[in-house]
A and B are shown apart, each in its own frame.
Chain A
């Protein structure tokens, strides 16, 4: 049996269904991400797992123990909130020690564990500072230390990095993953940032309208989107109707599917064996870091992404042939 099991979870607020038949099995030490747009119900799952919100139906079990009726304080589930939720009346050290104090841990052991945890999140020198004296990134590291120190069975992370700027966010993503691996802790991260999900997760559950649209490893999710929602939500997939793509390629596609997707970076100018060809007039070219994203107009608009190289230019208004391998034309259900 899996470490954390979510079975047939439903949640309704009045007549509005927020979660519909959520099923997840998570193994010990896995880093799971719930990815989806705002309002899709991902944070509600976390709150139900934590016991802060009641489910309308369904079952949560941790290590085989049914969590029905178990109070949040007794679940051994930790949580890091988007707004940090640090106790403003306590110093960093007191915040981190709070959970151990509630467990009545002996003061010598408590002191040692707090120091170790502060060292783990690189905040030893801020032990006596108050939360408002810290930057956003530092506050989030305190929140993480406070949640980790009680050694929860599952750590829930509710968009913990979304309020931070890009550079700090990337640094904390790396730190978070390193800490998770070091402690072998089961973590569930909620985010709407697909890059963040791809960067840190063992597995991703993509959610849409209160249900799970697709689950799998980051590679599976990225390279094999199962439907149009996933293709649009993950990366910048080109999504075509079968008729449009057949006209552009000049060859028939499986009638079993009505829509097809092509990753923008799967398109290239050099023809290889058995490649399919899309023809389009260059309309717009945007540089995003080391990537040049060019939009072409064929039967429909499509986008190609290429690594930026010196001397590499695309003339606007000129017609180009773009090639794609057959296996990179993905049928959507």
Chain B
């Protein structure tokens, strides 16, 4: 009993350590005044309202969605078919993908940014597209793992064979059987990638900076002018990530049962 009580205490301390800063930040986004008291002196929607009336924030939000969504879309269109083909038909080449996945983790953001600037700044390609390309490669691990794990649970090759013997073309077998079967894992990987890219700051700030202001750069700017507005940005970011996590959880749960076409 004593051990159990101690374990519970440590658990509560850990939860408090992790949750309190987030709660405090969220609360600060709604605080009318919070200077000399333990809790805010009053609550208001003023900061959120101000934020949503600020076109600069709306544009920054749109840019972040465009960058993260664009990178994820390109990855789904380019990387996913490549993974399918390699895993199903050329498994001996899979080690190269695995190597690429590890290499993505091995490049620190600062080195990647300097490298991208040195290689691409003189070529004439808009640097935002260079960042977009880097993002596509950067989310390879999430997309690869999502797809691979889904494929690992099924004998994909045999499902394709069975579908073809029942009169399906290769394309039909892929779209009607394989894709719906691996879709939950793929979707979870895509949402995870989106959330990671939505919060990315280092690369976009170093390579493009304020020329393409995303939510994270906007947040950085607001930190020095208004703590309440910055907290409101963080609040919106947390709500968005919470929603994404909720959707991932729902989709993953559905994949444990069976999904209908």
Contacts and interface: CB of A to CB of B under 8 A. Distances in A.
Interface of A: 50, 52, 71-73, 75, 77-79, 81, 83, 85, 87-91, 94, 98-99, 102-103, 130-133, 146-147, 150
Interface string B8-34: 000000000000000000000000000
24 contacts: A50-B161, A72-B165, A73-B164, A78-B165, A78-B166, A79-B162, A81-B158, A81-B162, A85-B155, A87-B163, A87-B181, A89-B181, A89-B258, A89-B260, A90-B261, A98-B163, A98-B166, A98-B168, A102-B167, A102-B168, A102-B172, A103-B167, A147-B166, A150-B167
B165 A79 contact: yes
B226 interface: no
Nearest to B164: A72
Given A89-B260, A130-B257, 18 more contacts: A52-B161, A72-B161, A72-B165, A73-B166, A75-B165, A78-B165, A78-B166, A79-B161, A79-B162, A79-B165, A81-B162, A88-B258, A89-B177, A102-B172, A130-B258, A146-B166, A147-B165, A147-B166
B259 interface: yes
B258 A99 contact: no
Contacts of A102: 166-168, 172
Contacts of B155: 83, 85
Given A81-B158, A102-B172, A130-B258, A87 B177 contact: yes
Interface of B: 154-155, 158-159, 161-169, 172, 177, 180-181, 257-261
Nearest to B167: A102
B181 A88 contact: yes
A85 B168 contact: no
A273 B133 CA distance: 91
A110 B154 CA distance: 28
A85 B167 contact: no
Nearest to B162: A85
A228 to B, nearest CB: 36
B169 A73 contact: yes
B253 to A, nearest CB: 14
A172 B172 CA distance: 32
A133 B257 CA distance: 9
A262 B173 CA distance: 52
B37 to A, nearest CB: 56
A67 B144 CA distance: 38
A242 B164 CA distance: 53
A80 to B, nearest CB: 9
Contacts of A98: 163, 166, 168
A98 B164 CA distance: 11
Contacts of A87: 159, 162-163, 177, 181
